[in-house]
A and B are shown apart, each in its own frame.
Chain A
Amino acid sequence: MGSAEMCQDLATEVEKLLLQPSPYVRKKAILTAVHIIRKVPELSNVFLPSCSRLLHERHHGILLGTITLITELCKRSPAALRHFRKVVPQLVQMLRTLVTTGYSAEHSISGVSDPFLQVQILRLLRILGRNHEESSEAMNDLLAQVATNTDTSRNAGNAVLFETVLTIMDIRSAAGLRVLAINILGRFLLNSDKNIRYVALMSLLQLVQSDHSAVQRHRPTVVECLQETDASLSRRALELSLALVNSSNVRAMTRELQAFLESCAPDLRADCASGILLAADRFAPTKRWHIDTILHVLTTAGTYVRDDAVANLTQLIAGAQELHTYSVRRLYSALAEDISQQPLVQVAAWCIGEYGDLLLEGNCEETEPLQVEEEEVLALLEKVLQSHVSLPATRGYALTALMKLSTRLHGDKRIRQVVSIYGSCLDVELQQRAVEYNTLFRKYDHMRAAILEKMPLVERGSPQVGEEAKESKEVAKLSEAAPVPTEPQASKLLDLLDLLDGPSGDAQHPPPLDPSPGGALVHLLDLPCVPPPPAPIPNLKVFEREGVQLNLSFIRPPGTPALILITVTVTNSSGGDVTHFICQAAVPKSFQLQLQAPSGDTVSARGGLPITQLFRILNPNKAPLRLKLRLTYNHFGQPVQEIFEVNNLPVETWQ
């Protein structure tokens, strides 16, 4: 554990010791050299020449140390890497001898000869073979041999096998070999030992991006692992299952995941719920199935669902014309059973308000016949209003739904009563709404029907556009609006619109009441306009230190306005390599961040191949984007850690 100066002073001494006849001294000297190189990488050339000589040793301890030394050298310097590629055949031979020769009592563990040495050699082969065709080819046979011959009944064998699998996946191996590796991982999954299953799930998770189809074959086993009682295992299994969902298996997978949702631990529920919703979003075979799935998620894990799920669901239902009756009936029955799951209640209230007439009159073949009386519907909504488990926002939904029903149903006396009661409610939001609705009843009864008509379909993520349209049309339509009370009407309309505009009227906050009169009337009857195509956003340099630079480039795909793709590029113009580069990001709570695997973790000196990494950020609320980055890497042999917030993000990234 010497310091850097001590290492520098003693380096030559250590080198001399490497030549000592006694193997006991030599092996210690080698490992000291390993430590020296970790501390002071510039001293690597001191030890380079001795390595090749030491490789010819027969003593296992010395060999082990030497391999570790070479591994360290290769990790830190590409020149050493090229130099040592020459010894690949020698290493291959060494490993082959180890695997094929018989049992050696002192080195073996349960039938596997010297697993420690085998694992080290495999690691070195992995580093040497990475991105290098020739070396990889030399190793192919050997890797296949090790993979098939190692005894897997004990942990030692599994350890070697695991290392082999990692090596196969990392080098440029033949496709058949890769499939073999994944099958081995699949076999691991069936093993009764939890540790091995954990290790297999971790590796499969890393591999699912690159070898998706091969991993798919093990899907049933992965799904079984969901049943594990151990939290870390079930979490890994959940992530892997979510990654494996595609259009062909989405129904089966969702069933499994829903079953899991019902039984899993609370901290996994949020992830599971959002995972199911996301998967349903991407791969839903039919709209009805989609609605069913979301409904099921809401009923089982309603409180863990993300905020914009409500908005998404209402938007979805509004879009599915033929399913209105079906949805409203299902939601009504669900609501009648249980009014405590807030997102469910909100969606149900909205639906009942919109399609109340369908609920009472429509005949629907897809659900059981449901005879619903007007009074029951009103009673249910009142119950929601009065219940103390309902959030203020939910009660807002319920009140508005009641109001809408006044045009859809026949008797509105009861509704008028309820509305006037809430005119003196303590909650400001409810009171305001109630007062406005009261006014609507009393003075503007003739307008009531027009105002409370059914909503047209709002495109996802266009509330921004809605605001602009309102602003621009306000001047033009001022003359058409009724003279004095444009305020309360427009606000009401905004309320109704805001309910649909899920993001800006996020259920948890009161919708903003901006006084843009008149134009809103027209907007309700017009279809919303298409958002303009996004202008390209300029790149941004966010970090520079000693020649290491980090640049961000942005893409806003026009089809999904809430999504922004950020590509992080790391370049190195300094004289030292950057290694073990890891970039982590943090965003505010309302955002969803997904980091994809980086292209690598090393940038060699003087303009070496840069690392790129893709971030996907979902910004459903259109909130200002804030991004905090944490970088850790080794530069000039020193570990560097930087944490900083990206300040000057262009406005186009989030608007």
Chain B
Amino acid sequence: MQFMLLFSRQGKLRLQKWYVPLSDKEKKKITRELVQTVLARKPKMCSFLEWRDLKIVYKRYASLYFCCAIEDQDNELITLEIIHRYVELLDKYFGSVCELDIIFNFEKAYFILDEFLLGGEVQETSKKNVLKAIEQADLLQEGFFSS
């Protein structure tokens, strides 16, 4: 995977994770273009589109668009599964997640993403292990703050 973006229906970026080195300017430009393209799609349309030389896989959950850019040889259907798995992880952690959870606890969302994907590849396929790692990190944090 090259990058993952989360944005709302109004086009506000909630989360961005880049797995390729790009300058800030390029990132902004790509984000802007991609957000426009995806938001312009009608609801019944296919979840895959070709953009520049990448394949874009996107899925809409309530008011959030989850958008991933994959390379030519990657499997689009499994990317849809990756997006779904991430949403499930967020759901399990926050307990029935909504956009506000992600807005207010974005660093936790990033932690979860980092435990699930590394360098653009899936790191851990077991939901239990990912959540366990996050819980351990949380405990450490609490211990740090309370003492």
A residues with a Cβ closer than 8 A to B are 1, 3, 24, 27-28, 31-32, 34-35, 60-61, 64-65, 68, 106-107, 109, 114-117, 119-120, 123, 155-156, 158-160, 162-163, 166, 194-199, 229-233
Most chain B beta-carbon contacts within 10 A, residue among A61, A163, A230:
A61
Q: Supply 28 A–B pairs (Cβ within 8 Å), ascending by A.
A: A1-B18, A28-B123, A31-B123, A34-B119, A35-B119, A61-B123, A64-B123, A64-B124, A107-B125, A155-B80, A155-B81, A155-B84, A159-B75, A159-B77, A159-B78, A159-B80, A159-B81, A160-B78, A162-B75, A163-B75, A166-B75, A194-B44, A194-B45, A194-B46, A197-B46, A199-B48, A229-B44, A232-B45
* B contact residues around A65 at 8 Å (CB): 121, 123
> Which of A61, A68, A120, A199 contacts B77, CB < 8 Å?
A199
Please name all residues of chain A whose beta carbon is closer than 8 Å to the beta carbon of B16 when the two chains form the complex: none
Known contacts A195-B46, A230-B45; A32 and B78 CB within 8 A of each other: no
Q: In the complex the two chains form, is B129's CB within 8 Å of A116's CB?
A: no
Closest to B79 in A: A159
Q: Assess A107 versus B126: contact at CB under 8 Å? Given A31-B119, A198-B48.
A: yes
**Distance between Cα atoms of A114 and B78 in the complex (Å):** 11
B75/A119 in contact, CB under 8 A = yes
At the interface, yes or no: B122 with Cβ under 8 Å from chain A?
yes
Interface size band for B:
20 to 34
What's the nearest-Cβ distance from chain B to residue A194, in Å?
A: 4
New A-B pairs, 16, CB < 8 Å, besides A155-B84, A230-B44, A232-B46: A31-B118, A34-B121, A64-B125, A115-B78, A116-B81, A117-B125, A155-B77, A155-B81, A156-B81, A160-B78, A194-B44, A195-B46, A195-B47, A198-B46, A230-B45, A232-B50
Q: Which residues of B does A touch, CB under 8 Å?
A: 18-19, 21, 44-50, 73, 75-78, 80-82, 84-85, 118-119, 121-129, 133
**Is the beta-carbon distance between B128 and A106 smaller than 8 angstroms?**
yes
Q: Which residues of B contact A230 (CB under 8 A)?
A: 44-46
Contacts of B21 in A (CB 8 A): 1, 3
By beta carbon, the residue of chain B nearest A582 is B53
Residue of A nearest to B78 (CB): A159
Selected from A32, A156, A158, A166, the residue in CB contact (under 8 A) with B119 is: A32
Assess whether A61 is in contact with B126, with CB atoms less than 8 Å apart: yes
Which residues of A sit under 8 angstroms from B80, Cβ to Cβ? 155, 159, 195
Interchain CB contact under 8 A, A64 and B122: yes
In the bound complex, CA of A123 to CA of B75 (Å):
9
A197-B46 Cα distance, complex, nearest whole Å: 9
Distance, CA A61 to CA B118, complexed state (A): 11
For residue A159, which residues in chain B have a CB less than 8 angstroms away from its CB? 75, 77-78, 80-81
Given that A156-B81, A230-B45, A232-B45 are known contacts, is A195 also in contact with B76, CB under 8 Å in the complex?
A: yes
**Min C-beta distance of B34 to chain A, whole Å:** 16
CA A116 to CA B84, docked complex, whole Å: 12
Do A163 and B76 touch (CB < 8 A)?
A: no
B6 to chain A, nearest CB (A): 19
Inter-chain CA distance A166–B75, complex, in Å, is 9
Kindly state the separation between the CA atoms of A199 and B82 in the bound complex, as whole angstroms. 17
Instruction: Name the residue on A nearest B127 (C-beta).
Output: A106
Q: Are B123 and A119 in contact (CB under 8 A)?
A: no
Q: Complex: how many Å from CA A24 to CA B125?
A: 12
Tell me, rounded to whole Å, the shortest Cβ–Cβ distance linking A375 to chain B. 54
| Residue of A whose beta carbon sits closest to that of B82 | A116
Query: A624–B133 Cα gap in the complex (Å)?
Result: 65
Give the residue name and chain of the B residue nearest to A158 (CB).
Answer: B77
Cα–Cα, bound, A160→B81 (Å): 11
In the bound assembly, the distance between CA atoms of A234 and B118 in angstroms comes to: 36
User: Sorted from nearest, which 7 A-B pairs have the closest CB atoms?
Assistant: A159-B77, A31-B118, A61-B124, A106-B126, A159-B78, A35-B119, A106-B128
Contact check, B48 vs A195: say whether CB atoms are below 8 A apart: yes
Q: Smallest Cβ distance from B110 to chain A, in angstroms?
A: 14
A448 to B49, CA, bound (A): 62
User: A197 CA to B84 CA in the complex, in Å?
Assistant: 20
Contact of A28 among B47, B82, B118, B126 (CB under 8 A): B118
Closest B residue by C-beta to A162: B77
Shortest CB distance B26–A (Å):
14
Q: Note all chain A residues with C-beta closer than 8 A to B126.
A: 60-61, 106-107
In the complex, A159 Cα to B127 Cα: how many Å?
19
Distance in angstroms between the alpha carbons of A34 and B73 in the assembled complex: 17
The smallest C-beta distance from B75 to any residue of chain A, in angstroms, reads 5
Query: Distance (Å) between the CB of B113 and the closest chain A CB?
Result: 14
Complex interface: chain A residues within 8 A of B81 (CB): 109, 115-116, 155-156, 159
CA distance A33 to B81 in the complex (A): 25
Complex CA distance for A34 and B76, rounded to whole angstroms:
21
Tell me which residues across on chain B come within 8 A of A61, comparing CB atoms.
123-126, 129
- CB pair B125 A60 closer than 8 Å: yes
B141 → chain A, closest Cβ, in Å? 17
In the complex the two chains form, is A27's CB within 8 Å of B124's CB?
yes
B118 and A114 within 8 A (CB)? no
B121 pairs with A31, CB closer than 8 A? yes
Residues of A within 8 A of B129 (CB): 61, 106
Contact of B19 with A1 in the complex, beta carbons under 8 Å: yes
Residues of B within 8 A of A162 (CB): 75, 77
Q: Roughly how many angstroms separate A316 CA and B100 CA in the complex, as a whole number?
A: 68
CB distance from B57 to the nearest CB of A (A): 9
Question: In the docked arrangement, what's the CA distance between A64 and B117, Å?
Answer: 11
The distance in angstroms between the C-alpha atoms of A624 and B94, with both chains bound, is 65
Q: How far is the CA of A31 from the CA of B124 in the complex (A)?
A: 11
Chain A: CB-nearest residue to B88 = A109
B27 CB, min distance to chain A CBs, angstroms: 13
- Select from chain A the residue with minimum beta-carbon distance to B74: A123
Give the residues in chain A near B125, CB-CB below 8 Å: 60-61, 64, 107, 114, 116-117
Given the complex of chains A and B, what is the CA–CA distance between A73 and B44 in angstroms? 40
- Chain A residues whose C-beta falls within 8 Å of the C-beta of B44 in the assembled complex: 194, 229-230
Question: Which residues in B have their C-beta under 8 angstroms from that of A199?
Answer: 48, 76-77
Provide the bound-state CA to CA distance between A27 and B119, in Å: 12
Report Cα–Cα, A314/B82, bound state, in Å. 57
Q: Can you name the residue of chain A whose Cβ is closest to the Cβ of B129?
A: A61
